Structure 1
Amino acid sequence: MGDQAAELLKALFPHLRQVMVNSIARIGKSVRITAICTAPAACCPGCDTVSARVHSHYGRRLADTAVAGQETAIDLEVRRFFCDNPDCAKKTFAEQVDRLTFRYGRRTVTLQRVLEQVALALGGQAGQRLAERLAVPVSGPTLLRLVRRLEIPAVPELTVLGIDEFAFRRGRRFGAILIDMDSHRPVDVLPDHTADTFAEWLRQHPHVGTVCRDRGGAFAEGAERGQPGIPQVADRWHLLHNLATGLEKTVTRHRSCLKPPQPEPEPVATPTRASGEETPYRRKIRERHRDVQALFQRGLTIDAISARLGLDRKTVRKYAKAPTAASLMRERPGRSSALTPHKQYLAHRWAEGCDNAQILRDEIAARGYLGCRKSVRRFLNTLAQHNGPRSVPPPPPAVADVVRWIIGRPENQSDQARQDLKDVCGRCSEIAEACRLARGFATILRRRDGHRLGDWLAQADASQVKEIRTFANGLLKDLAAVTAGLTLPLNSGAVEGSVTRIKLLKRQHYGRASFGLLRRRILLAH
């Protein structure tokens, strides 16, 4: 090869600078590079003795990263050296090229690192598909073997340790993730979330300074048993979440107070037919009288009219003798049905806003109605036709909205939300008291005024809201960690983010990853 081509090749492949390239050729869809080692001596891997005595030569074929989307292979001629150290167990050894080869490797160091990162990021099957697109085909099981061969770094000295649980199988099997809160990197994964396992891990790592955790009792117990007296910090988000759970129960108990008082519904008239109103019966008589009189005036006989109109002769004679159609009409008594005694009740309930035929049918069934739901629905349709569109009262606020108004930042809420919360508190004294205490705790939490927690606990203990008292009793059981959480800037946000990342890693293995493989990916694919 020319000198310029060799320099260009070494610029493209920096790891080939310790070898001499003889040729480069394209064979099919792959690029083949032929090279030989040029180092005058090599170091024995057994005793680090440098030797220059060559024993023999042999060829190695190494897969390398792709060139312009084409597979690349290096045919490298390497040498075997004698080890001149009589105390070394190795008599001969093969030379290794720095940053190019490794013992028993059939890939270059660069390609090995690339495939390791692909396996850590995507796993087996997805990594296999990506490797094929990168022109370095490799199977999924091979990628997983690369992950299993990687060394897990040792746990460093931790100033603050974050811990939280995650699910191997939702609702059945759980593990625990441990995070260095300074670097936000995972340091270990536990096979379960019990106090015994966490306590044993702390005994093996006595350099942990502080534990940042959620409100789970297992982690609190494990920290105390593993390192008695170790400072613990309760996460603020979990404290606020526990408060919101209690508020939700309180608001749910007083759900009826959320609905604003409705004005008395306007009376709705039950549809009735006026005496002079045109009915199908009256219209039929009027049209028949007109037709008979028209034919009779033209001179047709009774028999001819009967044949043309398809009426009986007696009927034709009656219509022919009647001077007006009104003289043939007679008042019919109003028809009654099983629904008639209940129409006023249905009209009143419809005015109140209830238009569900099944609900109303069940209500009047308790009053003695034996008819069907369709009759109720037909009557409701008649009410809607005669009374026009009905104003529907606005729905009451949802329980979740009320809880969000209470514990949310007031400056981030709209004027309408603040007014709605004020109205709800005005209708229910217990919700108003819960709102006052909850907002007081939220202020302590956001400002990290942990020194004010004692005064708030005294107010909560005297409260009439049982959910607030229950929440305060829970804080007393974990007072030191809660006070630290309301004072120090530490939180479990980094831990929750790692738990979210674990969910992605689990789904890449479709739930079939063993604990060992999943642990390595969690710790190394960060």
Structure 2
Amino acid sequence: MGGADRLVKLTFSGLSPLLIEEVADEGELVRLRARTPDGPVTCPDCGMATSRVHSYGERTLADVAIDGRRVLVVVRVRRLLCPTRGCRQTFREQLTGVLERYQRRTPRLTAQIGAVVRELAGRAGIRVLSALAIRLSRHSALRCLLRLPLPPLAVPRVLGVDDFALRRRRRYATILIDAQTRRRVDVLPERGAEALEAWLRAHPGVEVVCRDGSGAYAEAARRAVPGAIQVMDRWHLWHNLAEAVLKEIAAHSACWAKAGPPPNDGPRAQTTRERWHQVHGLLGQGVGLLDCARRLNLGLNTVKRYARASEPERLVRAPAYRPTLVDPYRDYLKRRRTEQPAVPVLHLFHEIKDQGYPGSFNLFVRYINQGRVDADRPAISPRRVTRLLLTRPDTLTDSKRDRLAELTAACPEMTELAGLVRAFAGLLQPATGNADRLTEWITRVRAADLPHLLAFTHGLDLDRDTANAALTLPHHNGGTEGVNTKTKRIMRQMHGRAGFPLLRHRILLG
């Protein structure tokens, strides 16, 4: 019996504060009968110890499964008499770590359920728990998650701040993390300046605030911790530059489109040229923009766009073709069609199929019908030119590098734009003198004829100290963006049915 007793104690070590009296095997259920140890218990109100028993009762709790079978613990508990006059008359004893007030599961089972639900949410969580012989509803599983203790809140020296959508375009929340360790600190139910300011005032100790270009977060940090350094995220600086570069490249498409693919001469391009002549003909007669829009049945912004263009070719865009599986075989197809103009399309398809073409016949026919074989080179869109210009030069292939050099040499503005992009990319490696180099870069932009890039520099001037800190200090907001990505996964699991307290709990538990 001594060995059996030791085996029982080892199997049910989590119930060691209880005195186990009986273990019954009931097939898919293991039922334990136990009692609390004899001894004095402290009154929860007055703190006086007592051993006077008023009555006995039973509590039934579920415990972690054993060998794929559920475990129920039936515990005989005492109701004791308080010795202090004027205090409560009786109270039921509790055992911390085993018997918690109002709970029907042991704390270790609650922690196990919460760990599963934290990763898989409600329905997926209970499906996994059912395989572990734990039966409960998704609502009970989520309540177990809410009972898990949150990690202690420690105010970081470098705070990362960003917002995420609870309901896109309607309701947003704010995530706070330690920007150095990427530990989640807190989640605020809104993204206004007042919420962040109140949190910063209640939790002093923040020295650096990493954020995006949000004016609300900037104002909150300025009011609550005026001595803290605010750092704009470098990714947002590069992203804002990329948007300005895309607009500049689209504005000069008439230049680089001539250096690259031939201009689009389809019906759409012909309509564009006709409308340009109509708009400029009316403007030459002294007709206003609004009257032009009414006479031509066009939108006012469309008329303004035509009026700003000095020639119709500036409005004709190169066809926005995406790369396809046929592109590697384009030179072979062009040579075959030159040698034998009447070669059937099906024969060409079988020839490149023998060479390793993995695509479909429909894709191949569409490629032929678009005229991409007969053109001097495949068409390229402004977005693809921007991507080439913003990519590290050492990661480009030789053909792409030559293509980029040809496109950027199409006009002086494109050449200047390429130089400015490379110069700004060099500033994204934090260094002590980057603030002065940023001033020189802004001076170069203002001397160039690049209006969209000039607008980007105006945005830098509005938040210059934060931009200087981003280019000179090693701190950034990348960890906060990563936490936001995980938060979106959590919200997809919840499908919007859970409230903010549960979402906050899941985010902070990691």
Q: What TM-score do the two structures reach when normalised by structure 2? A: 0.74
Deviations 1:27-62, CA, capped at 9 Å, x for gaps: 242111122233433333333433333333322211
8 Å Cα contact 2:197/2:220 also seen in 1: yes
Distance in 2 between residues matched to 1:360 and 1:231, nearest whole Å = 52
Unaligned runs of 5+ in 2: 273-336, 344-372
Matched residue SS, 1:490? coil
Range moving further from structure 2, 209-218 or 230-239: 209-218
Residue of structure 2 equivalent to 1:435: 418
Matched residue SS, 1:72? strand
8 Å Cα contact 1:63/1:74 also seen in 2: yes
Q: Which amino acid aligns with 1:429?
A: P
Distance in 1 between residues matched to 2:212 and 2:260, nearest whole Å = 44
Residue of structure 2 equivalent to 1:248: 246
Q: 1:521 to 1:35 in 2, by over 3 A?
A: same
Deviations 1:129-165, CA, capped at 9 Å, x for gaps: 2322221111122223334455656642221111111
Residue of structure 2 equivalent to 1:63: 62
8 Å Cα contact 2:165/2:171 also seen in 1: yes
Range moving further from structure 2, 253-262 or 202-211: 253-262
Residue pairs, 1:102-501, within 5 angstroms: 102-149=100-147, 155-259=153-257, 261=259, 387-388=341-342, 391-448=374-431, 449-451=433-435, 452-501=437-486
Distance in 1 between residues matched to 2:132 and 2:269, nearest whole Å = 68
8 Å Cα contact 1:258/1:397 also seen in 2: no
Q: What TM-score do the two structures reach when normalised by structure 1? A: 0.72
Range moving further from structure 2, 448-457 or 57-66: 448-457
Instruction: Give the drift of 1:435.
Output: 1.0
Q: 1:17 to 1:233 in 2, by over 3 A?
A: same
Residue of structure 1 equivalent to 2:88: 90
Matched residue SS, 1:396? coil
Q: Identity of counterpart residues, as a percentage?
A: 37
Deviations 1:432-463, CA, capped at 9 Å, x for gaps: 11110111011011254523222222222212
Residue of structure 2 equivalent to 1:273: none
Task: Choose the corresponding residue for 2:489, options 482, 490, 504.
Answer: 504
Residue of structure 2 equivalent to 1:54: 53
Instruction: Give the drift of 1:260.
Output: 5.4
Distance in 1 between residues matched to 2:77 and 2:193, nearest whole Å = 55
Instruction: Give the drift of 1:476.
Output: 1.2
Distance in 2 between residues matched to 1:115 and 1:73, nearest whole Å = 16
8 Å Cα contact 1:353/1:393 also seen in 2: no
Residue of structure 2 equivalent to 1:517: 502
Matched residue SS, 1:446? coil
Instruction: Give the drift of 1:482.
Output: 0.5
Distance in 2 between residues matched to 1:355 and 1:479, nearest whole Å = 46
Residue of structure 2 equivalent to 1:29: 28
Instruction: Give the drift of 1:66.
Output: 0.9
Distance in 2 between residues matched to 1:405 and 1:186, nearest whole Å = 36
Q: Which amino acid aligns with 1:411?
A: D
Matched residue SS, 1:486? helix
Q: 1:180 to 1:500 in 2, by over 3 A?
A: same
Q: Which amino acid aligns with 1:9?
A: V
Instruction: Give the drift of 1:127.
Output: 2.6
Matched residue SS, 1:393? coil
Q: 1:361 to 1:168 in 2, by over 3 A?
A: closer
Q: Please give the root-mean-square deviation of Cα atoms over the aligned residues, in Å.
A: 3.1
Residue of structure 2 equivalent to 1:268: none
Q: 1:490 to 1:53 in 2, by over 3 A?
A: same
8 Å Cα contact 2:259/2:406 also seen in 1: no
8 Å Cα contact 1:450/1:486 also seen in 2: yes
Q: 1:386 to 1:141 in 2, by over 3 A?
A: closer
Distance in 2 between residues matched to 1:143 and 1:353, nearest whole Å = 62
Residue of structure 1 equivalent to 2:44: 45
Residue of structure 2 equivalent to 1:340: none
8 Å Cα contact 2:162/2:174 also seen in 1: yes
8 Å Cα contact 1:259/1:395 also seen in 2: no
Distance in 1 between residues matched to 2:462 and 2:444, nearest whole Å = 17
Q: Which amino acid aligns with 1:54?
A: V
Matched residue SS, 1:176? strand
Unaligned runs of 5+ in 1: 264-351, 364-382
Instruction: Give the drift of 1:184.
Output: 1.6
Q: Which amino acid aligns with 1:450?
A: N
Distance in 1 between residues matched to 2:188 and 2:18, nearest whole Å = 46
Deviations 1:455-501, CA, capped at 9 Å, x for gaps: 22222221211122111121111111111111111111111111111
Residue of structure 2 equivalent to 1:275: none
Matched residue SS, 2:191? coil
Structure 2 residue 12 is the aligned partner of structure 1 residue 5: no
Q: Which amino acid aligns with 1:521?
A: R
Q: 1:360 to 1:415 in 2, by over 3 A?
A: closer
Distance in 2 between residues matched to 1:427 and 1:63, nearest whole Å = 76
8 Å Cα contact 1:353/1:392 also seen in 2: no
